[in-house]
Structure 1
Amino acid sequence: MGTVKRAHRRGASALTLLCAMAILTAPGLGLSGTAHAAPAAPSVPGAPAAPTPEPGAKSLEQIRKEIEDLYRQAGSATDAYNLAESETKVQSERIVQIAQLIVAGRERISGLKDRAGAAARAQYRSGGLPAGARLVLSDSPSQFLDSKDRLRQGEKATTDLLTELDRTQHDLQRYAKDASTVWQKLETNRVEREKSKKRIEEKIKAAQDLESKLEAEEKARLLQLEQEAQYKAQTQWLSSGAMKDVSGKATDAGKRAVQFATAQVGKPYEWGATGPGSFDCSGLTSQAWLAAGKAIPRTSQEQLRLRKVAVKDMRPGDLIIYFDDASHVGMYVGDGAMVHAPRPGRDVTMAGAGSMPIKAVVRPDA
């Protein structure tokens, strides 16, 4: 409880997220895992007080929530797009594998037919007399027994040849069926990607249209409202005691991932981007862990499948998955903060780890 009280006092102090960034970039990177720093109440220099809306007009807070909802929907569609993209890659690789199997199978059938033809030609040169007849007409008992043994071997070879030919033809039919199935999946994913892309573009445009109608002072106030909402969520989260027992320390890989992610602060959000000049939320986290030597899934929904850990066991480098649909992800950096790529129109930044509804915490280097 004492830790939570200290968090509130610090949350009411002048400590800002920029101070948290300074701690993170100082020696030791602030990665001890001590979880006590709440963000200070935000303020935007020169931001005006909220104007009184005209009767029937939407308030700036209503506009903020509408814009936030549109970007949330775009984020969800972005994840669907990225997931379809990654599945398309897997299926394309499978198509190549199947094509190689089909080529190998056809070559195998060609070889088997050549062997069958050779056997037929050999029989023709022997006068076309069946092997059993030649055995009966033999004058020598030893030759008879020797021929009998060779006859069994020849019959087995012929049976094996026909069996192998039949099996290879069956394999080719299966490969062709598999290829047809994968092609259908590819087409389905292509359609889904196009639908997701259209949804993303529509939601982002709608949000941008709303924001473009605001005056400069209103835009500054809008940013302040966003920060105030995040601050409120973060302080409520700390008040719950969620961070009371958090003390996990970063692994070496976790430190490298945090170093990469925090080094991207200030770069713009761009849907589908994985750097180096811009990122979406899961593009940032996946590239950070790749820089740390660990390949993880590309999307936030796929990252949700990584090993889950309790909030109390959270350590720097762990990923925090947000919202019920797992449409957003950030990286915990210690001291109650995280780094993330928020949304279109915003840059990679630091924020309170509890400034959005947490769905799960996952560990890439479990």
Structure 2
Amino acid sequence: MRLTARGWGVGAGAAVALTAGLGLDYVELVALGLAATATLALASAQAACRPALQVDRQVSPQRVDRGERCAVELTVRNVSRWRPATMVAWDRCGDTLTPAPVVGLRPGAVAEVSYPVVTDQRGRQWVGPLRVRRGDPLGLLASWQDFGGTTPVWVYPRRRSLVGGPAGSTRSLDGLADGAQHGSITFAALRDYVVGDELRRVHWRTSARIGRLMVREHVDASLPHLMLLLDDRRSAYPGPRVGVSVDFEAACEAAASVVAAACGDGIAATLSTVTGASVGGRGRHSDLRGQLDLLAEAAPDGGAGIGEAVARLRWRRGGDTLVVFTGPGGEDAAAQATAAGRRFPTTLTVLFDERLTDDRAAADGGADASVIRVRDSEQFAAAWQRRQW
């Protein structure tokens, strides 16, 4: 609770009147000062009275692609049985406040407010709480109170439509190339026999040792596994540190396009950042949500070097194709990705630089190059389509 400009004036006038009235033995001034003081006391009691509100908020949808429609449905109910709610309210949405017309809400009455959420920028923003301003009829004091919780809204990067991708390197489960053809199977584990299993899959030696039938379980060894690394170091995106980095936004859009395409094709993909965040995926839509959430919240920052990030990926189980997304200052990322060729038979580094003017991907070195330079995610999608995986 705080005094308004009018309240400060009344308070100062009350102090002057009381001081002068007592000093000059002027009864009228003393009475005027006491009246002003009593008015401030009554205004303080009214402003401090907390309204009885119930706030329900529905955000649809909570996860949205950049630029798509998202709306908030706000319901405010006065649950008091006898006292009306006279107030001014705003609902917080990110860094903005949206007016909510709930002035003069009668007991038991409901006010409904609908407004759009701005989705022009990628990121996670919070909607709520409802901020209510209470005051007195004379405007001497004002108090601010929050009602209702907060709801997160994820704004995903814009995604490009990609067709095709790495076909895998036919790896066995122990990480060694075995030369198997696509669609072949390799031993994975032993499990208990169930009715319907073929007897030729029974592992007789193990079955005899443990006293029950055990059969061999096989999996397809040639399915590809993408390892995606988003360079979120601030040094990789030189330029002003205030505002949005166009190159970093393009890198996020490209990474989102690849994970979405991999999910659509049922290909496993693991998305990591240089600063250490990582979300795995097995080509399922439930995994895609976590990866897109990570991309929505990513921001250029400090953290570990690119060498440490690539080393973490090299020691992970699985993964035969490494794709690195970086900016104009990420030349070292290309070198580290190339050096990881022993662990990843296929490597690709994409450097985004908005200063490029060529309509085609610049210096892409052909359809099988390990480093390509592009201006934005649209050029990246074209270069991805031309690449011979």
TM over 0.5: no
Query: By percentage of residues, which structure has more strand?
Result: 2
TM-score by length of 2: 0.20
Task: Compare relative contact order (CA 8 Å, sep 6+) and give the higher one, 1 or 2.
Answer: 1
TM-score by length of 1: 0.21
Query: By percentage of residues, which structure has more helix?
Result: 1
